[in-house]
Amino acid sequence: MVVGDFPIETDTLVVGAGPGGYVAAIRAAQLGQKVTIVEKGELGGVCLNVGCIPSKALISAGHRYAHAKHSEDIGITAENVKVDFTKVQEWKMSVVNKLTGGVDGLLKGNKVDIVKGEAYFVDENTVRVMDENSAQTYKFKNAIIATGSRPIEIPNFKFSKRVIDSTGALNLKEIPKKLVVIGGGYIGTELGTAYANFDTEVVILEAADDILSGFEKQMSSIVKRNLKKKGNVEIFTKAMAKGVQESEDGVVITYEVNGKEETVEADYVLVTVGRKANTDELGLDQVGVEMSERGIVNIDKQCRTSVSSIYAIGDIVEGPPLAHKASYEGKIAAEAIAGEASEIDYHGIPAVVFSEPELASVGYTEREAQDLGLDVATSKFPFAANGRALSLNSTDGFLKLVTRKEDGLLIGAQIAGPNASDMIAELGLAIEAGMTAEDIALTIHAHPTLGEITMEAAEVAIGNPVHIIK
């Protein structure tokens, strides 16, 4: 402790106010703890400010524009459809501001002390919080680290005015004429699709065998096909980005594909090859918190690190960098600190990509179940056989259930189709509740809705399909 610096005491100190941190802080306060949350940036973290929320706003705006221009097949023709991209960005920020303002109100309403600054761990019960002007010591009984992650910068592609990360892509002041995306994962696919819908020419370079490799090939192939159908998207797989030459008004990217070196010119190159855990400037190593070489913090089933008074959640622990995973872990950590028996169980955590069509998955895939030695059956129902999908003129895709053969227990589900991001919630609930395919089939679903597809797939699973031939 610095002379003259009297420490402030708190029960639970949360570092990071993203969807993991602020949820953890609120839950801890609800459980009677005196809580302090430290954030060096904006409340809401990456997700609310430069990730989940603004990207979905941009995607939504792109859909509106594309639908206005391309609805001739259902008898609607619009002329002179224009985009005022400045207004699009203003609207996007209004969405962000409403949500971040809401987080501020929720924290204050739960009597959480909000502190701006960077936290550095001094020992297992002490941190120093520093801003540009001052420093303050905080003593805590327990701490929850929720510092999130940042985009990975790859060799020869240093972030700059024209070499941008996802944050840069979301904050462009103009619609680029041409955009190269390095990385065909969920971020690259979502943002590439959004700009393609604004008529940007998009080139996706993916080092792996396919885009969206985290999903089954049956699902990602539908997305790839629809991207190519747009006419302004090119996808190169097994393509390695080698370097970039940057000028005032554009870039020239060199890449290798099929053993041949190629170049492509664009206004910007967007690098989306993964994210790195923000654990390197917290002083965790000197406190004794065990981490992997990648800076991933080791935790137990209650999110407790190797130091019993320190917990970790979100992108800095093992697992996919999902906002809802971080929020879930935040609740577990807060409850564990309060002495409850809460433990993490990732089986029911969904993964979603806001592509065209949307992709969503929960529980086990067929391959994952088989690898675990489970004897499973799968049942599929196509969106093309659903009245609501037909009326939406959006029939690409399917819903697949993975059930245990011995009793029909639902252990996994995958959806490729419109509103998959919303539909997956029912299947996540079914898995958590231990429901069988028969339980789902016996649940009356409103007509005409996309939700009926879930019921129809369950009817396929029990051998009584109505709207497709058995």
- Tens-binned pLDDT, residue by residue, of the chain (470 aa): 344 468 999 999 999 999 999 999 999 999 999 999 999 999 999 999 999 999 999 999 999 999 999 999 999 999 999 999 999 999 999 999 999 999 999 999 999 999 999 999 999 999 999 998 899 999 999 999 999 999 999 999 999 999 999 999 999 999 999 999 999 999 999 999 999 999 999 999 999 999 999 999 999 999 999 999 999 999 999 999 999 999 999 999 999 999 999 999 999 999 999 999 999 999 999 999 999 999 999 999 999 999 999 999 999 999 999 999 999 999 999 999 999 999 999 999 999 999 999 999 999 999 999 999 999 999 999 999 999 999 999 999 999 999 999 999 999 999 999 999 999 999 999 999 999 999 999 999 999 999 999 999 999 999 999 999 98
Domain boundaries, the chain: 8-151+276-346, 163-273, 357-461
Note whether 388 and 452 are within 8 A (CB). Answer: yes
Across the beta sheet with 250-257, the strand order is 239-247, 250-257, 260-266
Of 466, 416, 462, the residue nearest 436 (C-alpha): 462
* Buried/exposed code over 309-318 (b: 16+ C-beta within 10 A; e: otherwise): bbbbbbbbbe
- Report the C-alpha gap between 56 and 53 in whole angstroms: 5
**DSSP annotation string for 292-358:** -TTSPBP--TTSB-SSTTEEE-GGGBSS---HHHHHHHHHHHHHHHTT------GGG--EEE--SS-
- Report the C-alpha gap between 345 and 316 in whole angstroms: 17
AA letter at 241: A
Amino acid 390: pLDDT:
98
Give the CA dihedral 257, 258, 261, 267, nearest 10 degrees. -20
Amino acid 5: pLDDT:
67
N-terminal to C-terminal alpha carbon distance within the chain? 73
**DSSP annotation string for 72-111:** GGGT---SS----HHHHHHHHHHHHHHHHHHHHHHHHHTT
C-alpha count within 13 angstroms, C-beta hemisphere, residue 239: 25
Q: Is the dihedral of CA 184, 186, 188, 190 positive or negative?
A: positive
- Identify the DSSP state of 173: S
| Tokens (6 digits) for 436 | 């069988």
- Report the C-alpha gap between 227 and 234 in whole angstroms: 8
Left if phi > 0, otherwise alpha if psi is -120 to 50, otherwise beta: which for 305? Answer: beta
Question: How wide is the angle at C-alpha 308 spanned by C-alphas 305 and 314, nearest 5°?
Answer: 30
AA letter at 151: P
Amino acid 470: pLDDT:
81
The CATH number of the structural domain formed by 163-273 is 3.50.50.60
Q: Which CATH architecture has domain 357-461?
A: 2-Layer Sandwich (3.30)
Taking each helix axis as running N to C, give the angle between helix 52-69 and helix 186-197, from 0 to 180 degrees, rounded to the nearest 10. 40
Question: How wide is the angle at C-alpha 216 spanned by C-alphas 210 and 220, nearest 5°?
Answer: 50
Distances (CA, A) of 131 to 116, 118, 135, 146: 7, 6, 6, 18
Q: Which CATH architecture has domain 8-151+276-346?
A: 3-Layer(bba) Sandwich (3.50)
Q: What is the largest CA-CA distance in the chain?
A: 80
Q: Which of 67, 324, 447, 467 is catalytic?
A: 447
Distances (CA, A) of 55 to 37, 183, 414: 26, 16, 23
Backbone angles phi, psi at 149, to 5 degrees: -145, 170
Note whether 138 and 127 are within 8 A (CB). Answer: yes
Of 173, 167, 190, 180, the residue nearest 62 (C-alpha): 190
Check if 8-151+276-346 and 163-273 are the same fold.
Answer: yes
Of 115, 107, 81, 134, the residue nearest 29 (C-alpha): 107
* Buried/exposed code over 268-303 (b: 16+ C-beta within 10 A; e: otherwise): bbbbbbebbbbbeebbbeebebebeeebbbebeebb
What is the value of pTM for the model shown? 0.95
Ordered alpha helix ranges (H), 396-435:
420-432
AA letter at 341: A
Catalytic site includes residue 445:
no
| Tokens (6 digits) for 386 | 């659903």
| Tokens (6 digits) for 209 | 């065998």
